[in-house]
C-alpha cells in the first residue's frame, strides 16, 4: 500500500503498562486504513515525544497520547504531553489527541483539553472512539461567514481593549455629574458621580458588583445602596466627587477586582462543563453507533 492509500498517519505514545491497548489500537486503526507508528521499545522515563517525532513531523498527522494511571505519575505525562499540546509538535501542524484510560484523573496541563474516553479492556470500542475522533478532525471544516459590520456601540470594548480583558475604572464621567439640591434637607448636598469603565461588563458582572458593594463592609464611610452599573458606567448616586476621591474610589477598585475574579472563575467553570457535555455527547454517539453496528437484520 502506498502512502497515498492511507487515510492519515498516527503516532501512538504510551507507557509500558499500556502496551496491550496500544498494540490493539494500532491493529484496529491499521485495519481501518490508517498508517500507525508505534515504538516497539515503548517510551521510557526521560524519553522525549518531540525528539521521537521531529524527524517525521512532515508526515505525521496525529499524535495519540495514552493517559493512564501509570502515565500520569511519570515525568513523561507531566512534561512531555503538555509540551506536545502547546509546543513544537502543535506548532508544526500535528494534532495531539489525549486518550483518557479508565476515567483516570487528567493532569492539570490537560484538564481544559477535549479528550477521547476509552476503557482498557474494550479495545474494539477504544478503536472505534479514537477513529471517530480522527475522522471528525479529517472532515472539511465548515466555512464561517464573514462578520457583519455594525456601528460601534457605546460602552463596548474599544479596538485596543479585548472583549474578555479585566475591567478597569478609567475615570470620572464629568459630563454625567449630577447637581446637588442644596435645599437644606438631609442629603441635599449629595449628587450622582458616574465612573467610566474600560468596557461594558456583562449583566452577571454588573449584578455581582452590586451585590458585593451592598453586602460588604469596607470602611466606616462606606454607603451600601448607592452603587449601580449602567452600560459602561458605575453610578454612585448619593455622594460627592470629594468623597469619591477620599473614600469610595478605593472601594470601587476592590469590588471591580472581585467581580473580575468571580467572572473569570465562572467562565472557567462553564468551559469545564462544556467539555463534560461534549465528552458525554461523544460517548452517547459512540454507544448509538456501537448498537447500530451490532444489529443484524434479515
| Model confidence pLDDT, tens digit, residues 185-244 | 888 889 999 999 999 999 999 999 998 898 876 777 888 889 999 999 999 998 999 999
Residue 126 has pLDDT above 80, yes or no: yes
DSSP state of 198: S
Count the residues in the chain. Answer: 298
Residue 53 has pLDDT above 70, yes or no: no
User: Is the model more confident about 35 or about 13?
Assistant: 35
In this prediction the pTM is: 0.45
Nearest Cα to Cα of residue 223 among 263, 186, 251: 251
pLDDT band for 151, please (50, 70, 90 cuts).
very low
Q: How do beta strands 35-38 and 9-13 pair?
A: parallel
The C-alpha atoms of residue 42 and residue 109 are separated, in whole angstroms, by 22
Question: Structural domains in the chain?
Answer: 3-139 (3.40.50.10140), 169-269 (no CATH)
The C-alpha atoms of residue 184 and residue 201 are separated, in whole angstroms, by 37
> pLDDT (tens digit, 9 = 90+) per residue, 171-180?
999 999 998 8
Amino acid at each position: 500500500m502506498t502512502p497515498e492509500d492511507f487515510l492519515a498517519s498516527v503516532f501512538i505514545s504510551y507507557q509500558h503498562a499500556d502496551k496491550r491497548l496500544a498494540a490493539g489500537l494500532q491493529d484496529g486503526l491499521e485495519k481501518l486504513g490508517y498508517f500507525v507508528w508505534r515504538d516497539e521499545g515503548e517510551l521510557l522515563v526521560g524519553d522525549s515525544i518531540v525528539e521521537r517525532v521531529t524527524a517525521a513531523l512532515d508526515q505525521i498527522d496525529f499524535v495519540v497520547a495514552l493517559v493512564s494511571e501509570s502515565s500520569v505519575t511519570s515525568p513523561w505525562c507531566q512534561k512531555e504531553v503538555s509540551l506536545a499540546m502547546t509546543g513544537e509538535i502543535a506548532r508544526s501542524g500535528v494534532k495531539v489527541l489525549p486518550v483518557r484510560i479508565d476515567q483516570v484523573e487528567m493532569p492539570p496541563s490537560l484538564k481544559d483539553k477535549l479528550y477521547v474516553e476509552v476503557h482498557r479492556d474494550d479495545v474494539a470500542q477504544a478503536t472505534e472512539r479514537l477513529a471517530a475522533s480522527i475522522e471528525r478532525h479529517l472532515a472539511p471544516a465548515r466555512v464561517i461567514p464573514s462578520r457583519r459590520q455594525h456601528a460601534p456601540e457605546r460602552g463596548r470594548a474599544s479596538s485596543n481593549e479585548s472583549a474578555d480583558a479585566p475591567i478597569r475604572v478609567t475615570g470620572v464621567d464629568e459630563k454625567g455629574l449630577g447637581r446637588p439640591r442644596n435645599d437644606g434637607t438631609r442629603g441635599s448636598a449629595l449628587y450622582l458621580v458616574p465612573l467610566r469603565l474600560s468596557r461594558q461588563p456583562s449583566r452577571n458582572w454588573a449584578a455581582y458588583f452590586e451585590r458585593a458593594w451592598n453586602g460588604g463592609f469596607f470602611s466606616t464611610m462606606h454607603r451600601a445602596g448607592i452603587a449601580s452599573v449602567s452600560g459602561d458606567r458605575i453610578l454612585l448616586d448619593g455622594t460627592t466627587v470629594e468623597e469619591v476621591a477620599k473614600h469610595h474610589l478605593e472601594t470601587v477598585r476592590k469590588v471591580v477586582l472581585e467581580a473580575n475574579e468571580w467572572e473569570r472563575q465562572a467562565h472557567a467553570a462553564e468551559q469545564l462543563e462544556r467539555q463534560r457535555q461534549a465528552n458525554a455527547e461523544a460517548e452517547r454517539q459512540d454507544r448509538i453507533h456501537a448498537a447500530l453496528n451490532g444489529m443484524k437484520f434479515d
